[in-house]
């Protein structure tokens, strides 16, 4: 909560209260809290996934309205994996930044995918 509070420039208790209020409104627990930290529940992960998508779509819409047809301005989103060398991504950004100073870059590293298959139901 402390890192989130620092990024959002608000107090940790304010973040906790906002999350608790949201949990109350939705009627589900969004986070599992423990001494080791905070992890999203299944519902929390779903909310994060869909709210991120809505936020990204809204951001793109505002960018398009603000910068119609200006390819030298906006945000370039780069998706990477654990295997992508950070030096490669940094080099590309360093190469493009002077040429396109009105571009912003957002680099997101994908989380590793782990699948725990459920046992198949017995045929009746």
DSSP string covering 10-74, please? S-HHHHHHHHHHHHHHHTS--EEEETTEEEE-HHHHHHHHHHHHHHHHHHHHHHHHHSTT-TTSE
> What is the residue-averaged pLDDT of the chain?
78
Tokens representing 2 are 């402390």
In the predicted model, what is the mean pLDDT of residues 41-46?
Answer: 90
| Domains located in the chain, CATH noted | 1-47 (1.10.10.10), 59-112 (3.40.190.10)
pTM > 0.95: yes or no = no
């Amino acid at each position: 909560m402390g890192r989130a509070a620092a990024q959002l420039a608000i107090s940790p208790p304010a973040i906790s209260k906002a999350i608790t209020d949201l949990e109350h409104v939705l009627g589900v627990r969004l986070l599992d809290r423990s001494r080791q930290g905070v992890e999203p529940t299944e519902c929390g992960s779903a909310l994060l996934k869909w709210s991120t998508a809505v936020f990204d779509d809204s951001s793109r819409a505002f960018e398009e309205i603000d910068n119609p047809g200006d390819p030298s301005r906006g945000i370039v989103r780069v998706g990477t994996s654990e295997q992508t060398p950070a030096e490669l991504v940094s080099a590309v950004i360093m190469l493009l930044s002077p040429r396109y100073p009105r571009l912003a870059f957002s680099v997101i590293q994908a989380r590793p995918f782990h699948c725990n298959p459920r046992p198949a139901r017995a045929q009746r």
